[in-house]
Amino acid sequence: MNRVGTARLPKRRGLAERLRWCVRGLLVAVLSQAGSVVLLTVTLTTFAAMAIGIGFLVLPVVMTAVRGLANFHRRTAREWTGEAIDTPYRRTTVDGAYDTAGTFDHCRRLLSDPATWRDILWMALDAPVGLVLGLLPVSFVAYGLNGMFVTPFLWQSMGPHWGFGAIWFITDQGDANLAIPQGFLFVVTGLLIAPALGRVYIRFNRALLAPTRNARLALRVEQLTETRSEAVEAQAAELRRIERDLHDGAQARLVSLGMKLGLADTQLETNPELVRQLLAEAMESSSQALSELRDLVRGIHPPVLAERGLDGAVRALAVALAIPVEVCIDLPRRPQPPIESAAYFVIAEALANVTKHSGANRVSIRLWYADGRLRAEVGDNGRGGATAEGGSGLRGLQRRLASFDGTLDISSPMGGPTLVTMEIPCEL
């Protein structure tokens, strides 16, 4: 389930926006027939073929196509109105779909998911609903334009029984001219109803494609189970990192320091020059151990974060970067210390990736609080291609944020630009 918050887009009522809704209506009408009708027919045929066993081999592929069409409508709902429709599918019926396609177990899990049957019901209803709601405003506009620009000039070739709007018979030029104002009214009506009917169609989709209350609870349980597991893994990984850094760094230097001081003690009476050399090396080892301990502490909770807060700590990161950085921060108050720490490390890691891998010459940092969420964006104009797959540092940040019910999204097409977006629900 998608958990990213969205804001309502302003409802523009200009002519261009109404024409855009007419075009969207035409797309809805085409998809309702070419998409829903065709896929519904294929789905029902697949169910029938399950009686002879073939359907079990085809069902996962067919349901992948059905969910692809449903997800397309969920995305268009967000693009058209700014109100996203969450995905209701159980994770166990999505993950590994291609690996287990054709198995009875996968088919069982697909068919036991209530969202599967709601998708089928949606396709059955989408055929008439999408056709009517999509074509109605387009038909009004097209019929009106015909009355304004075709009928007054070609009425004679249309025959004496042709009547515009089926209101009158056209027998002379005067009757034909009456089609102009009537056509204008049709065009205006079509443009007026296009946004309203489009939003009615979105509400129809939301009623069937959005998760039900029980589905939301089930998805929430799955999500919390996953985030708890990731939080435990992230904590264990962090402890292993601290242990490794202590063992390979400060601990080794302290052991070396003790050995040198012990050797110096045995040579104190017989070889003062060697003792001086050993003491100098011991002082160097202690200094290096202290420096490594400070670095380790910074990795756990940077002092600048405690002293100056998230605002000042992020600005310090920007100042230390060798690339020009545009910083925009709007935080009325400080978040809780754990939230501050998580957000700081996300931004720090994102900036480190920019420096190491992007080849960018411009970076932007946005940090703000709105609607009960702390949000941050780190963008650059580099080569792109950043991903959280393969155990990268970004994947570690996703696990870190999961313990706070936060999200980390990466948009980084090849060739750039890259935008890393973080959201953490919290109170200031």
**Residue 265 neighbours by CB under 8 Å, 6+ apart:** none
Q: How confident is the model at residue 13 (pLDDT cuts 50, 70, 90)?
A: low
Give the mean pLDDT of the chain.
Answer: 79
- Give yes or no for a contact between 158 and 176, defined as CB atoms under 8 angstroms apart: no
Report the C-alpha gap between 407 and 397 in whole angstroms.
9
Torsion (CA) 71, 75, 76, 78 in degrees, nearest 10: 140
pTM of the model: 0.56
Show contacts of 106-109: CB within 8 Å, 24+ apart.
106/60, 107/56, 107/59, 107/60
pLDDT in tens, 166-200: 456 777 777 778 888 888 999 999 999 999 999 99
85 φ/ψ angles, rounded to the nearest 5 degrees: -105, 115
The terminus-to-terminus CA distance of the chain in angstroms comes to 26
pLDDT for the residue numbered 419: 87
Which residue type does 323 have? I
User: At which residue do the structure tokens 């443009």 appear?
Assistant: 191
Which residue, among 5, 171, 170, has the nearest Cα to 86 in the 3D structure?
A: 5
pLDDT in tens, 308-317: 888 888 888 8
With a cut of 90, say whether residue 258 has pLDDT above it: no
